Structure 1
Amino acid sequence: MVKLSKTALWLTGISGILLMVAVSCVLLFPSQGLLEKINRKITEEFRLKTGYELQYKSLDLSLFPSPHVVFRKIHISSPGLFDTEMPSLTVVPRLLAFIRGNAEIASIRCEAPQTNLQLVSMPQSETQSETIASHLQAQEDVVAFLAGLASKLPDLQIFIADGRLNLMEKDKPRFQFHDIHGSIHLSPERPKVEVQCKSDLFEAISLNAWLDTKTLKSQGKFSLTRLTPQKLTHYFFPYANCQVKGGQADFEATFESSGPQMIQSHFRGKIPYLDLLQNGEDIFLKGGTFEGTVQRNGDQLDVAFSRLQFDTPRGSLTGKYFRDARIPLARLDLDGKDIDAAALRKVALALGGNNEAISKVFTIIRAGDVPLITCVAQGKTLSDLKKLDHMVINGRMIDGTILVPKIDLEVQKANGEVLISEEILEGKNLEGVAGKSFGREGKLIIGLMKGDNTPFHLDILLDADLVQLPPILERVVKSDAFLREMRLMKEIQGRAVGHLVLGESLDAVKTDLDIQSFNLSSNYQRLPSPLHIQGGTFGYHGNEVTVQSASGTLGKSALSQVSVAVRWGNETRLEVTSSSRSRIDLDAIYPWLLTHPVVKRFLKHFESMKGVLLVDSLNMKGPVLRPGDWVFQAEGGVENFSMNSSFLPGLLTVKKGRFEADAEKLSFFDCSARILDSSFVVTGSLDGYTKGLRAADLSVSGELGTEGNRYISDLIHLPDTFRLRSPLQFSQARFAWNLNGDTSFSAQMSPKDGPKMGIEVLHNRLKLNIKKLVVKDDASDASASLLLSEGEFDISFAGGLKKSSVDRLLLRNPFFTGAVEGSFETQFSLDAPLNSKAGGQLHIEGFQYKDGLKKPAVIERADLSAVGNQIHVKSSQVSWGGSLLNFQGNVDFSAQGLLLNMDVSADSLDWDQIRYMKEESLPTARPILTKSLSEPPSPRRGDESFQADTKKKPNLTLQGLLNVKAGKFTYGKLTWQDVATRVFLQGDEARVEFTKGSLCGIPTQGTIGVTSGSYHLEAKPNAKDVDIVPTLACLWNRSNLMTGRFDLTGDLKATGNHHDLTQSLEGNLKLTVRDGRIYRMGLLARIFSVINITEIYRGKFPDLMEEGFAYDTIEAEGSLAKGKMTLKKGIIDGPYLKMVWRGTVDLQNENLDMTVLVSPLRTVDRIISSIPLLGNVLGGSLIAIPVRVTGNIKDPNVVPLAPSAIGAELFGYVERTFKLPVTLLQPFL
Structure 2
Amino acid sequence: LQEIAQIKQLEGRAQWALVLGETLNAIKVRASARDIRLVALYGRIPFPLSIDGGDSSYDGEKLSFQNLKGKVGRSNFAGLEAEIKLKKEPYIEIQSGECSIMLDELRSYASLGEALKKVLRDVTSLKGVVHLSRMRMKGPLNRPKDWHFETAGDWQGLSLETHVVPGTLTSPKGKFRADPKTITFSDVQGHVLNAFIHVSGRLSNYLDELDRVELDIDGKVTPGEIRWLLDSLKVKREIPIRSSLSFSRAHLSWRRKGDTSFRGELMVERGPKIYLDLVQKLGQLKVDPLTLRDESSNCSIMLDLKDGALKVEFSGELSERTLDKIFSGYQFQNGRLKGDFRATLVIDQPIRSTVQGRLEADELSFPWQFRKPLEIEHISLRGEGNRISVGEARFSWGGMALALSGTGSFSEKGVLMDIDLSTDQVDLDQIRESFQKEKNGKDAQDSSKFKVEGTVRFKANSFRYGRFNWEPLWANITIDPDGVEAKIEEAKLCGISTPGLVKMMGQELSFDIHPLFKGREFKQTASCLLDHEIQMTGDLDLKGRVFARGQPQDLLHSLKGDLELRATDGRIYYAVVLFRILEFINITEIYRGSLPNLKKEGLPYKLISLKGSFHNGKLIIKEATLDGKTLEMVAKGELDLVNQQMKLTVLVAPLKTVDRIIKLIPLVREILAGTLVSIPLDVHGSLKDPKVTYLSPLAIGNELVEMMKRTLRLPFKLFEPLIPGKKEESPP
Q: TM-score range by the shorter chain?
A: 0.7 to 0.9
Distance 2:422 2:129 in 1: 68
**1:797-843 CA-partner distances (Å, limit 9, x unpaired):** 11111133223334664585411111112110001100001111111
Uncovered stretches (5+) of structure 1, i.e. residues with no partner: 1-476, 925-947
Distance 1:900 1:575 in 2: 77
Contact 1:997 1:1005 in 2 (8 A): yes
1:878 aligned partner: 395
Q: Does 1:856 align with 2:373?
A: yes
Contact 2:586 2:594 in 1 (8 A): no
Contact 1:538 1:547 in 2 (8 A): yes
Out of 871, 893, 898, the residue aligned to residue 415 of structure 2 is: 898
Q: How many residues are aligned here? A: 715
CA drift of 1:781 comes to 0.5
SS at match of 1:913: helix
1:773 aligned partner: 290
1:979 aligned partner: 473
2:730 aligned partner: none
Q: Counterparts in 2 of 1:392-471, with a 5 A limit? A: none
Out of 588, 602, 612, the residue aligned to residue 1094 of structure 1 is: 588
Out of 122, 132, 140, the residue aligned to residue 614 of structure 1 is: 132
SS at match of 1:1061: helix
2:191 counterpart letter in structure 1: R
2:689 aligned partner: 1195
Distance 2:537 2:661 in 1: 31
1:1118 aligned partner: 612
2:729 aligned partner: none
1:334 aligned partner: none
Contact 2:427 2:465 in 1 (8 A): yes
Distance 2:370 2:652 in 1: 55
SS at match of 1:1100: coil
Distance 1:822 1:523 in 2: 79
Out of 564, 583, 590, the residue aligned to residue 1070 of structure 1 is: 564
SS at match of 2:563: strand
Q: Counterparts in 2 of 1:697-708, with a 5 A limit? A: 697-705=214-222, 708=225
SS at match of 2:351: helix
Tell me how large the CA RMSD over aligned residues is: 3.8
Q: Counterparts in 2 of 1:71-150, with a 5 A limit? A: none
TM-aligned CA distance change 1:812 to 1:698, over 3 Å:
farther
Q: Counterparts in 2 of 1:103-252, with a 5 A limit? A: none
TM-score when normalising by structure 1: 0.53
1:486 counterpart letter in structure 2: I
1:719 counterpart letter in structure 2: R
Contact 1:493 1:522 in 2 (8 A): no
Contact 1:560 1:578 in 2 (8 A): no
SS at match of 1:908: strand
1:865 aligned partner: 382
Distance 1:791 1:1090 in 2: 74
Q: Counterparts in 2 of 1:640-1039, with a 5 A limit? A: 640-646=156-162, 647-663=164-180, 665-705=182-222, 708-709=225-226, 711-712=228-229, 714-716=231-233, 717=235, 719=237, 721-726=239-244, 728-763=245-280, 766-788=283-305, 791-810=308-327, 813=330, 817-851=334-368, 853=370, 855-918=372-435, 920-921=437-438, 956-987=450-481, 989-1025=483-519, 1027-1035=521-529
1:52 aligned partner: none
Distance 2:27 2:505 in 1: 87
1:531 aligned partner: 50
Out of 553, 557, 562, the residue aligned to residue 70 of structure 2 is: 553
TM-aligned CA distance change 1:579 to 1:1013, over 3 Å:
farther
2:109 counterpart letter in structure 1: L
Uncovered stretches (5+) of structure 2, i.e. residues with no partner: 727-732
1:990 counterpart letter in structure 2: V
2:13 aligned partner: 493
TM-aligned CA distance change 1:915 to 1:923, over 3 Å:
closer
2:626 aligned partner: 1132
TM-aligned CA distance change 1:513 to 1:1075, over 3 Å:
farther
Q: Counterparts in 2 of 1:502-517, with a 5 A limit? A: none
Q: Does 1:585 align with 2:101?
A: yes
Contact 1:754 1:805 in 2 (8 A): yes
**1:479-529 CA-partner distances (Å, limit 9, x unpaired):** 4xx355212x53243356787799999xxx999878698856323363535
Which stretch shows the higher mean deviation, 1071-1080 or 614-623?
614-623
CA drift of 1:955 comes to 7.6
**1:1116-1167 CA-partner distances (Å, limit 9, x unpaired):** 2222222222212222221222222222222111111221222222277732
Distance 2:709 2:296 in 1: 87
Distance 1:1027 1:592 in 2: 92
CA drift of 1:1220 comes to 4.6
Contact 1:875 1:887 in 2 (8 A): yes
SS at match of 1:723: coil
Report the structure number with the largest CA radius of gyration: 1
CA drift of 1:603 comes to 1.3
Contact 2:291 2:300 in 1 (8 A): yes
Contact 2:324 2:330 in 1 (8 A): yes
Contact 1:968 1:976 in 2 (8 A): yes
1:1088 counterpart letter in structure 2: L
Distance 1:991 1:502 in 2: 107
**1:1163-1213 CA-partner distances (Å, limit 9, x unpaired):** 777325754363443345453211212222122222111112223333334
SS at match of 1:1112: strand
2:650 aligned partner: 1156
CA drift of 1:1001 comes to 1.3
